[in-house]
Amino acid sequence: MKLPTSVALIVVALAANSTRAQDITVGERSWNKCRACHQIGETARNLVGPQLNGLFGRAAGTAEGYSYSAANKASGITWDEAIFADYIKDPKAKIPGTKMIFAGIKNEQEIKDLTAYLKQFAADGKKP
């Protein structure tokens, strides 16, 4: 069965939107939800939450100089894209007892974009 051209174009557009690549620029805008409590970059320091330089590959509860909850330190988590995506949707559900007070980000694409933004910062806050 051949689809009408307009239907075919809609199907192609929907498929393209569902597989959109990560967008660092969009992720930087999403970062604005985080910046009240966290910092990132070469001058980052701990605030209400820990600095997030070099987050991916780092064990939870180990940012130097930050006072983590016992739950966070004992979580056994090493941050990767999948764990971060699950966590940022509902931090208190992923790590019961965490000090992080955040309603979460539910939109999968926004999480991917935020992840792309965060991943560009090495442990020293520099962008490779």
pLDDT at 47: 97
Whole-model pTM: value is 0.82
Closest CA relative to residue 64, chosen from 45, 77, 83, 78: 45
pLDDT digits 0-9 by tens, 1-24: 554 554 444 444 444 444 567 899
pLDDT at 128: 79
pLDDT digits 0-9 by tens, 51-79: 999 999 999 999 999 999 999 999 999 99
pLDDT digits 0-9 by tens, 77-125: 999 999 999 999 999 999 999 999 999 999 999 999 999 999 999 999 9
Domains and CATH numbers, the chain: 22-119 (1.10.760.10)
- Give pairs for 54-63: CB < 8 Å, separation 24+: 54/121, 54/122, 54/123, 54/124, 55/79, 55/84, 55/118, 55/119, 55/121, 56/80, 56/81, 56/84, 56/115, 56/118, 56/119, 58/123, 60/95
